[in-house]
Amino acid sequence: MRDLALEPTGAPARVLAGDPRTAERVLVAQAGLEVGVWEVTPGEFASAKPEAGEVMQFLSGEGTITHADGSVTRIAPGTVLVLEPGWTGTWRVSATVRKVYTIFDAPETRRNTADI
């Protein structure tokens, strides 16, 4: 995954400092679930997960993620982080970060096909 070619996807939506650029490769996409590889260059940006959660494992890079409650997670190879739906925070990336991610819908946004 460290050498997987990614497609440029622009800048994060809410850049606070620097000129971070992202790239991504979606590996699996189906109802309520997405798995892929994502990368971001140095910079600072705000992020939110209003309707989805995410599990991520960092493959490379350095930085921190500051959560809304003020706690800080250090980004480094091997770090695993779970963000629950509704999460908000700030990324500060000092060396290009690459991660494997799984994004999942919040339970209330999942639809049971028996209810349709």
Beta bridge mates, 55: 82, 102
Q: What is the mean pLDDT of residues 89-106?
A: 96
Least confident of 16-20, 75-79, 101-105, 110-114: 110-114
- 22-61 tens-digit pLDDT: 999 999 999 999 999 999 999 999 999 999 999 999 999 9
Q: What is the mean pLDDT of residues 54-75?
A: 98
pTM across the whole model: 0.88
Find out whether 60 and 3 touch, Cβ atoms under 8 Å: no
- Confidence (pLDDT) at 73: 98
- Confidence (pLDDT) at 84: 94
Q: What is the mean pLDDT of residues 71-88?
A: 97
**Burial class of residue 53, CB neighbours in 10 A (0-12, 13-18, 19+):** middle
Q: Is pLDDT above 60 for 109?
A: no
Whole-number average pLDDT of the chain: 92
Residue found by looking up tokens 């209810």 in the block: 115
**Structural domains of the chain in order of their starting residue, each with its CATH number:** 7-107 (2.60.120.10)
